[in-house]
Structure formats: C-alpha cells, structure tokens
Chains A and B, each alone.
Chain A
Amino acid sequence: MSRSTPLIAGIFGSLAVSVFAMVLVPQAQIGGLQAQVTRDDEGKIIDVYPTDRVKYGAKVYASEGCIVCHSQQVRDTQNGEDQPRGWGERRTVARDYIYDATTFLGNSRLGPDLANVGAKTWRNEAENDPRRPAKRDAAWHYLHLYKPTAIITESNMPPYPYLFEKRRISGARSKDALPADQVNVEDGFEIVPKAEARELVAYMLSLDRSHPLKEVKSEAPSPAAAAPAAK
C-alpha cells in the first residue's frame, strides 16, 4: 500500500496545481469584473459600459450553433488582421463580456468575426468595396439568414429557411417580409421571420464592443479613449 502513496499523491497534486493555475487564479483575477462607470466632475454617472445584452437571441445563437463558424473576439494588431479587416477598432477584453448571457468567444472562423457586427462601422469587405452594403440592418440580416447566397453568391454559410415562415398576404405586405424579387414564393404569399429569427437578429444588432475602455489602447484613438492605458 505504502508504495502507491506517492503515486496517488502526485496525481492529486497535478490536478490541484492545474485547477489552481487555470481556474481559481483566473476567477480571482477577472471573475469579479464590473462595468466601467464614468462620472462627470460632480460625481454623476454619465456612462456605463457594458450594459445588459439581448438574452433571448443569445439562446437562438447557441441553439443553432453559430459559434461553430463565428467567433466573437477581436485580437490586437500584433496577433492578427482582425482590426484591418473591419471587425473592430480595438481588441476585445474580458470586461466586454461580463453581461453576456453566454459568452461566444469561439475557436473557429469559417465565417467572419461577429464581436461588433451590430456596430455601424463593422464591415467584412474592403473599405471601398462596391459590395459593401449601405447598412446592415434587420432587413439585410433576414435576407442573409434566409438565403446567404442572395447576398454573397459564393457564400458557404448554410441557409436557415426554418427560421422563417410562408404566409398568405392579408391586406398589406408585412414590414419584415423578405423582398419578393429575392425569394421564391408564389403570388399572394410572403416569407416572414419567425420569432427565433427576430430574436437572433436583435441579438446580432446588439453586438457592439467598440465602446472605449480604459484598459485598452485603441488603435485609432477616439477622444474618449485617450485615457492613460500604459501606466
């Protein structure tokens, strides 16, 4: 029996070291992060970031497995070309995610990064590419979800027709109906997003992690981000 004691103790020790370094210390360091609160000279709160995120859409994002192809993290310029690609103007940090219902950092990019897909400046084309849409609003996302190739002909993103339903038009066409010239639907019918698609798009449009944070030096410094980053 005694000969096996060092073996068992060693195995236990390796687990303890691992849990300590990889789980407990990180939790102590970043587990309690709070939102960044900015006050004016009189001590009144003028800005809080981040705030609560759209929760229901995150569930759809999880359930459809968007994370399999899309990450939500922007690396700094030393670590990759995420920022020149237009996916964000600064790297993302732990504080950006504190209110995410589920944090979808992701390990794989078979599609673009979505950390800031709801931001106006987000792009997945070169700055002056004619294919860059004027705006990526809900209508753009609905069509893209229903039939990605209607927007990017060579896209290999799977279509999500089951997040939409065909409806007989009663009276006027509904506001969210997909453009009739883009989708195959017989006269008198329209294709509209189901609740899941609406929630998912609302969630995506809420994804904007471009707000300045004091711990990140912005690559293209905005006046608000000029706070001292390097102490």
Chain B
Amino acid sequence: MTAVAENPTQTSEKTVAPIGAAAGAGTSSAQYAIERAQIDKSTSTAVLWFFATAIAWLFGATVFGLIASLKLYFPNFLSEWAITTYGRIVPAYNLAFTYGWCSLAGMGVGIWLMARLCRVPIKAPGLLIFGAIVWNVGLTLGVWQVLLGQSTGIEGMEMPHGAMWIMFSGFLFIGLWGAALFRARKEALAFISVWYLLGAFFWFPWVFAIANLLTSLPEIRGVMPVVIASWFTQSLNIWWFTAIGLAAAYYLVPKVANRPIHSYNLASIGFWSFAFLGGLTGMLRLSGGPVPAWLVTLSIAANIMMIVPIATVTANLLLTMKGATHMVYQSPTIRFTFFGVVMFALGSVLGVFSSLRSFDKYLHFTPWLEGQQFLLLYGFFSMVIFGAIYYITPRLVGCEWLSSSLIKFHFWGAAYGGSMIVIMFLLTGISMGGRMADPESLFSQVIGSSLEYLAGRIMATFMMTLGHAIFAIHFLLMLLRIGQPGGSATVFETHEH
C-alpha cells in the first residue's frame, strides 16, 4: 500500500481507500475521485441535516448545562418556575446532549463513513432525512415532557416511552441504511471503521428496544428497572458513542496522516475485546447498591480487562500518527481527533481505576461519575466528531471553512473549557468524597467543601458555550456556502522552527 505523496489536507483526495486497495486494483485514482464525488453528492443533504440539527441541539444542551451549573451555585436562580427546576434541567440537558448532539452528529458521521468506506452511493436520501426529522420530533417532545414534569423517574431513561418510541422509529429509517450500505459494499474486506459502525448500528436499536420494552412492563419491578437502566446507559456509552467515535478516529487518523493503520491485528483484538467486555461493564453504576454482589463484581472485572481494548486502540492510533504528529499543528481535523484520542485513553484508564471498590467507595455518588461521563462524551466523542465535521462538511458543500481563526477559537473554547469542566467535576468528586467519609461532618460541609469548584465549572461552561457559538456560526456560514473556495483545506498557520 503506497502512500501517494501529496498535501494530505487537500480536499481533492488522491489516496485510495485506507484498506483494500488491492481489491480495487485496476481502478485508477481518477475513477476513485469520480466515485467519491458521486457518493458525497448522494449523502450531502442528508448528512448536513444531521449535522445542522445536531449542532442546534448542542447549543440547546450547552444552555441547559449553563443554567444547571449556575443553579447549583445560586440555588434561587430561576427557582420560581417548575420547568427550570434543577431536577428537570439536568435530565433535559442529558437528553439534549446525548440524543440531540452526540447521537445525531454521530449518525451523520456514521452514514457518511459507511457510504465512503463501502463505496456505495445512497439511492434514496429522502428516507434518511425523514428518519432524522422523526428522531428530532421524538426528542423535542421528550425534552418538553421532561421539562413539564412527565419524566419516568428512571435515571438515564427519563424520557417518557411515547417520545422514546417515536425517536426509535426515526432510527429505523437511519439504521436500515447502514445495513443496506454494508450489504451493497464494493470492498470485500471491511475496513476497521466499518466494524465499529456495523456494531453501533446493530447494538443501538437492540439495546434501546430491549431496555425500553422491559422497563415499561409491570412485571419488571423493584430494582430491576434500575439494573436495566444502568445496563442501557453503559451500553450506549460503549456500543454507541464510543463505537462511533472510534470508527471516526480510525478513519480520520490514517486519512489525514496519510499512512495506513499501524496494525490490523491490534485493531482486531481491540474490536473484539471491546465488543465482548464492554457489554459486561453495565453494573458499575450500581457498585455498593442493593443488587446481587456478583453482578457488580462481574462488571468491575470486565472493566479492568477493558485495559486490553483501551491499550490496543490507543497504541494503534498513536502509532499510525507516528511521524505525522506535526499535523496536529496544521490540520483542524487532526487537532480535534488527536485531542479526542488522548482523552479516550485518559478517560478510560481513569474509569478502570475509579471502578475499583477501594476508590469507588469514596467516589460513588459524587460528581466524579459525571466528570467521567463528560470526559467520555465530550473530551473523547465530541472532539472526534468535531474533527470529523471539519473534515466532512467541505466535501458536502463544496467550499472550505471560512476562517482558521474561528476553528482555533472553537478548539480552545472546547478543549480548555471542556477540560476545565472535567477537572472541576473530578475535584468536586474528590473533595466531596473525602468529606463524606467523615461521618461527623454535616452534609452542608460536604457541599461547602466543593463550592469553589462549582464556581469554576460555571466559568468553564461559559468558555465552552462561547466555543460552541463560534462553531455554530461557522457551520451556518458553510451551509450558506460562505467560505473559501474549495480545493485546499483551511489549515492552521504553521511556524517553522
């Protein structure tokens, strides 16, 4: 597999598909370019629909998050109205963030990657757009219902079932496309990203349907709905968000670094250990809780073994980057993606250690858990997806991002703001956990010990909000085709040393 010498940031890609080049032997790079253009054209409107609505949700979620962090510090802020009470804003934030931003953006990236990697254009993009609209309708309804006080009360599955099923039917239109593209693929051997995507598009509907169906049955009672909700939340974390994030990273890193994946064996080990072990980590959230002890022990053991996929995936991606690290300073895509991969490694290792009972005993019930969740969904997933959107959008609209400064602002707002939020969550967790362990301390002292971190989180959230606003405006300009002429990608200025 020979890497063609070229400026890897250029839109006009000459490199062949990252793997399976041999399968397409005889096809010239010019034909590939035509094929790619056809595929991009077929996915363009649908994928932009996903991105645009996802970014709208990201902005909505950011505002919810800002209100929530303000309310924690100033409890009287907006306390007059039921719809802005803390207990409703937080689940609304979670729903908007996970199903609005993360899922919609992830599906957009996933569909685009699937079409590109299977080398199949989409024949009826209208169905995809319809799916995205139905998903958005269901989600909007669900968020409204939660704000109006109709939450199910099951943590992690707060959305009322009706709205959930509307969202689910929207997904069917989307997910079936993933399967159809895979079936019609022209590459004999699927690229590693396709494995993760196929997994994600398969796992998601099953986990979603099983969890929602079971929790709505009256026979499932007592702690079982909570067990199922824990399994559901963790399964989405691993099999949906992490899987899509890794699929994107496995595509973008070799693509932009212009090198093949370091080791296919490592990638395979990583995938299978991820798939099987990840599915057994569901009960971490119930550590110490009123459930059979073996259940939690099994999840902790599986989580410790997750070291294997974490190490192989990280090593593989970093080794692929080796020799191309200067790209981090040049390519917006790689800067976001690289940051995400580092956060993936950091967050996963942190997750392994804090799941050990001797740590969990102190950290359970503190904002540490929220910090970890945010590290995964924002530090890793969202950053990789930002990178993917910076890569994909120019190929769909036909012009390049207007300004590298705006991208830079977004990066620093997201990276700095996001990291500060994570650090504040984790520090709150440590200080509250330490105080909580002293049974003589008043509960108000437990909270009091972390007030400065709560204040820090507000500032960090403001910074992140600013970054997101810039990103949203920049994306809007792209939708209006206001940008630099297509051809050469918008890159950061580099300083030669």
Chain A contact residues, CB within 8 Å of chain B: 3-4, 7-8, 10-15, 17-19, 21-23, 26-27, 29-31, 33, 58-59, 61-69, 71, 73, 75-76, 78-81, 84-85, 91-100, 102-112, 124-126, 129, 131, 148, 152, 154-162
Known: A12-B202, A26-B224. 5 other contacts (CB 8 A): A18-B280, A22-B279, A26-B291, A102-B154, A105-B290
Kindly state the separation between the CA atoms of A1 and B132 in the bound complex, as whole angstroms.
Answer: 29
Note all chain B residues with C-beta closer than 8 A to A111: 443
CB pair A105 B223 closer than 8 Å = yes
Q: Which of A15, A64, A105, A148 makes the CB contact (< 8 A) with B226?
A: A105
CB pair A26 B292 closer than 8 Å = yes
> Does B260 lie at the interface of the complex (its beta carbon under 8 Å from any beta carbon of A)?
no
Nearest A residue to B292 via CB reads A29
Instruction: Give the interface SS of chain A, mostly helix, strand, loop or mixed.
Output: loop
> Does B493 lie at the interface of the complex (its beta carbon under 8 Å from any beta carbon of A)?
no
- Chain B residues numbered 64-99 whose CB sits less than 8 Å from any CB in chain A: 71-73, 75-76, 79-82, 85-88, 90-91
Kindly state the separation between the CA atoms of A96 and B291 in the bound complex, as whole angstroms.
Answer: 11
- Chain B residues numbered 276-321 whose CB sits less than 8 Å from any CB in chain A: 276, 278-280, 282-283, 285-292, 295, 298-299
Q: Which of B73, B75, B189, B439 makes the CB contact (< 8 A) with A81?
A: B439
Task: Report if A71-B282 is in contact (Cβ < 8 Å); known contacts: A33-B222, A65-B88, A97-B290.
Answer: no
**Which size bracket describes the interface of B in this complex?**
35 or more
Kindly state the separation between the CA atoms of A156 and B445 in the bound complex, as whole angstroms.
Answer: 11
Q: Which of A11, A67, A158 makes the CB contact (< 8 A) with B198?
A: A11
> Does B438 lie at the interface of the complex (its beta carbon under 8 Å from any beta carbon of A)?
yes
Q: Which of A21, A63, A98 makes the CB contact (< 8 A) with B222?
A: A98
Q: Which of A26, A61, A69 makes the CB contact (< 8 A) with B227?
A: A26
Shortest distance between the CB of A39 and any CB in chain B (Å)? 23
Number of A-B contacts (CB under 8 A): 225
CB pair B72 A156 closer than 8 Å = yes
Nearest A residue to B238 via CB reads A18
Nearest A residue to B156 via CB reads A107
Task: Report if A31-B220 is in contact (Cβ < 8 Å); known contacts: A18-B279, A91-B290.
Answer: yes
Note all chain A residues with C-beta closer than 8 A to B76: 158-159
CB pair B276 A63 closer than 8 Å = no
Kindly state the separation between the CA atoms of A29 and B226 in the bound complex, as whole angstroms.
Answer: 15
Kindly state the separation between the CA atoms of A145 and B283 in the bound complex, as whole angstroms.
Answer: 33
Note all chain A residues with C-beta closer than 8 A to B226: 103, 105
CB pair B439 A85 closer than 8 Å = yes
> Does B357 lie at the interface of the complex (its beta carbon under 8 Å from any beta carbon of A)?
yes
Q: Which of B189, B199, B370 makes the CB contact (< 8 A) with A3?
A: B189
Note all chain A residues with C-beta closer than 8 A to B279: 14-15, 17-18, 22
